[in-house]
Amino acid sequence: MLVLGIESSAHTFGVGIVDGGRVLANEKAMYKIGTKGMIPREVAQTHISNCNAVISAALSKAGIKINEIEGIGYTKGPGIGTCLQVGQLAAKTIAARLCVPIAPVNHGIGHIEIARIMSGLKDPVALYVSGGNSQILKLSKASRRRYTVLGETFDIGVGNMFDTFARSIKLDPAWGSTVEKTAEGGKYVPMPYTVKGMDFSFTGLLTHASRLAASHRKQDVCFSMRETSFSMLCEATERAMLLSGSSEICVCGGVAQSARLREMLKAVADEHGARFGFAANEFNADNGGMIAFVAERMLTRGAEEKLRDCTIEQRYRIDSAEVFA
Amino acid sequence: MTKPISEGAESRIYPTEIFGIDAIAKVRGPKAYRVPLLDVSIRSTRTKKEAKIMALALSHGVRVPRLLGVSDYSIYMEKIHGNLMKDAKISGKQAEMAGTLLATLHNAGIVHGDFTPANILIGEDGKLYLIDFGLSEISHGAEGRALDLLLIKRQMGVRLYTKFVKNYSQGVPSAREIIKRLAEIEKRGRYQTRTLG
């Protein structure tokens, strides 16, 4: 089934085209974050002006015409309301115009499912780490129709911690990957380490790092923040894997682009003889491909939504979304 | 070293012998994923804290394995012969005994943090012993205590828990407040505010 998916939950407006689980196109345009972060109204306006160009780019990349599309998917949530609305409106317009079925997709399910399936894992413990989310999940044993949250952040997502810190020490562009670059060659200074069972918390670490930044070398603080937060995630993931009896780990979401995080999780998996997998970076960053990918699985199993019920939900919980695993 | 008896996320348990006593060693091994400074700090802090809490519990009359020694990353303790409560058919009497056991622990100012039948041993002497203080805290608040109750309630089922909580309430002066907090916790969704500690 030829499905077009639209992602617009945060700074990325992405359009993906999928056919039979193969991603034919995955185009995107991003809001330039600068040193100020995201201003919701401005991000949404940027998405509106990029919308047509990105859709056209995806269609020509896939070598198809718009009227060949057989189904539409869009991100229902979670995300920034104004941004979600842009993708929702575009998706509904195309679906109505072409008279094709439409499926609302949970953003997090998009990340996890594409990582899980592309890396060939069956029943992994999934670490989903991005700006807005940091959770450890696993398909529910009984039905495999929902993801169960085994552990999650008590406060902010780990990516949010990096982004906020990047802004506070005026890195440009102000986000996590710049912190990671700055961390190279840094030395470790002690930081607060907060893991409770399979849950974790990052605000204490953020506050402490911001204070240390005044008196320490940037690279040392960035290095220590990265090492501490990733160690916390690894410990919680390791515990979740052992307690749930899984022998597979997969990582997804924006922060999964970090080579260091992947190296550490690989070490966790190796210690227990477990398999470790992740998707290509284009699917870890926000993208339309994963939305099209999940939408196709939904539509081929008859999970289409009536146009008038195609809403957005800023706090769309990942464990309330139905999965077709 | 010999093969571990059991393997957890952060430690392994090995059989050993000290002064002719059957003993076990709980060893927090290095984690390859962590930078060495952080790794050493986490392992030694947690080992010391766990040993300290075990000693405190013991001094307040909580039945826990006797400490035989502590090194940087290992705790040596006497081996209790018996079965884990999770592997046994729990009797009403044993549920009551578990209630008294947790009451004694809470009265000592300690929250266990993982109070499940997997961490209660039924000794060959028929008495109950509490093990694995890896997630324990010194705390006087209702929250942590209520969470201890919540875990055992979920695992025991209603009939046994009723017996359990009867003895627990008789043993703990602030039991009413703790049980009230438990009811609050059970109403909470995961996305609502949760108090740390």
**Based on the domain organization, do A212 and A134 belong to the same domain?**
yes
Is residue A63 over pLDDT 80?
yes
Confidence at B27, pLDDT banded by 50, 70, 90? very high
**Based on the domain organization, do A79 and A45 belong to the same domain?**
yes
**Based on the domain organization, do A287 and A316 belong to the same domain?**
yes
Q: For residue B114, what are the CA distances in angstroms to A151, A196, B130, B171?
A: 15, 11, 11, 20
Over residues A296-322, the pLDDT tens digits come to 999 999 999 999 999 999 999 999 999
Picking from A225, A219, A189, the residue whose alpha carbon sits closest to that of residue B41 is: A189
**Based on the domain organization, do A103 and A67 belong to the same domain?**
yes
Is A94 inside a domain boundary?
yes
Mean local confidence (pLDDT), B134-163: 92
Is there a contact between A242 and B8 if contact means CB atoms under 8 Å apart?
yes
Picking from A255, A290, A7, A12, the residue whose alpha carbon sits closest to that of residue A130 is: A255
Query: How do strand B137-138 and strand B110-111 relate by DSSP bridges?
Result: antiparallel
pLDDT score at B61: 96
Selected for mutation to probe chain A from B33, B44, B148 (highest A CB count within 10 Å) is: B33
Over residues A255-284, the pLDDT tens digits come to 999 999 999 999 999 999 999 999 999 999
Over residues B43-88, the pLDDT tens digits come to 999 999 999 999 999 999 999 999 999 999 999 999 999 999 999 9
**Based on the domain organization, do A183 and A272 belong to the same domain?**
yes
Asked whether A78 and A107 are in contact (CB, 8 A), the reply is: yes
pLDDT score at B195: 37
Is there a contact between B8 and A228 if contact means CB atoms under 8 Å apart?
no
Residue type, A285: A
Selected for mutation to probe chain B from A146, A149, A156, A188 (highest B CB count within 10 Å) is: A188
Q: Does pTM top 0.90 for this prediction?
A: no
Asked whether A262 and A278 are in contact (CB, 8 A), the reply is: yes
**Based on the domain organization, do A172 and A255 belong to the same domain?**
yes
Picking from A319, A225, A300, the residue whose alpha carbon sits closest to that of residue A73 is: A300
- Please tell me whether the peptide bond between A192 and the residue prior to it is cis, using omega within 30 degrees of 0: no
Confidence at B193, pLDDT banded by 50, 70, 90? very low
**Based on the domain organization, do A100 and A148 belong to the same domain?**
no
* DSSP one-letter code for B81: P
Is there a contact between A267 and B32 if contact means CB atoms under 8 Å apart?
yes
Per the residue annotation, which of B39, B72, B87, B114 is the catalytic one? B114
Is A92 inside a domain boundary?
yes
Calculate the CA dihedral of residues A153, A155, A157, A163 and round it to 10 degrees.
-150
Is A115 inside a domain boundary?
no
pLDDT score at B185: 84
List all residues 6 or more positions away from A318 whose beta carbon is below 8 Å from its beta carbon: A78, A106, A108, A109, A112, A128, A133, A135, A137, A147, A149
Is A224 inside a domain boundary?
yes
pLDDT score at B194: 38
- Please tell me whether the peptide bond between A173 and the residue prior to it is cis, using omega within 30 degrees of 0: yes
Alpha helices in B20-174 (DSSP H): 36-59, 92-107, 142-156, 158-171
Is residue B191 over pLDDT 60?
no
Is residue B166 over pLDDT 90?
yes
d(CA A5, nearest CA chain B) in Å: 28
ipTM value, please give it.
Answer: 0.85
Is A249 inside a domain boundary?
yes
**Based on the domain organization, do A166 and A232 belong to the same domain?**
yes
CATH of the domain at A289: 3.30.420.40
Structure tokens at B85: 């409560």
In sequence order, what DSSP letters do the residues of B127-160 get, joined into one string? -EEE---TT-EE---HHHHHHHHHHHHHHH-HHH
A12-19 β-sheet, strand order: A22-30, A12-19, A2-7, A71-77, A102-106
Q: For residue A178, what are the CA distances in angstroms to A174, A182, B43?
A: 7, 6, 30
Confidence at B189, pLDDT banded by 50, 70, 90? low
Is A116 inside a domain boundary?
no
Is residue A46 over pLDDT 50?
yes
Residue type, B103: A
pLDDT score at A101: 98
Contact list, A77 vs chain B (CB under 8 Å):
none
Confidence at B92, pLDDT banded by 50, 70, 90? very high
**Based on the domain organization, do A215 and A197 belong to the same domain?**
yes
CB-based burial, B49-88: b 16+ in 10 Å, e otherwise: ebbebbebbeeeebbbbeebebeebbbbbbbbebeebeee
**Based on the domain organization, do A102 and A133 belong to the same domain?**
no
Share of chain B above pLDDT 70, in %: 95
Rounded to whole angstroms, the Cα distance separating A220 from A204 reads 18
Q: What is the three-class DSSP state of A35? A: coil
Is residue B1 over pLDDT 60?
no
Asked whether A137 and A128 are in contact (CB, 8 A), the reply is: yes
List all residues 6 or more positions away from A23 whose beta carbon is below 8 Å from its beta carbon: A16, A17, A289, A292, A293
pLDDT score at A243: 87
Is A23 inside a domain boundary?
yes
Over residues A67-110, the pLDDT tens digits come to 999 999 999 999 999 999 999 999 999 999 999 999 999 999 99
Rounded to whole angstroms, the Cα distance separating A72 from A8 reads 14
**Which stretches of chain A sit within 8 Å of chain B by CB?**
149, 152, 154, 188, 190, 193-194, 196-197, 201, 227-228, 230-231, 234-235, 238-239, 242-243, 263-265, 267-268, 270-271, 315, 317
Residue of B nearest to A198 (CA): B9
Of B31, B38, B194, the CB nearest to A154: B194
Is A152 inside a domain boundary?
yes
Long-range contacts of B42-46 (CB under 8 A, 24+ apart): B42/A193, B42/A231, B43/B72, B43/B73, B44/B72, B44/B73, B46/B10, B46/B134
**pLDDT mean across residues, chain B:** 91
- The total domain count for chain A is 2
Confidence at B34, pLDDT banded by 50, 70, 90? very high
pLDDT score at B55: 97
Range of the domain at A96: 2-109+283-320
**Based on the domain organization, do A269 and A127 belong to the same domain?**
yes
CB pairs under 8 A between A and B: 58
**Based on the domain organization, do A138 and A270 belong to the same domain?**
yes
Mean local confidence (pLDDT), A12-33: 96
pLDDT score at A76: 97
Picking from A80, A74, A82, A76, the residue whose alpha carbon sits closest to that of residue A55 is: A74
Is residue A289 over pLDDT 50?
yes
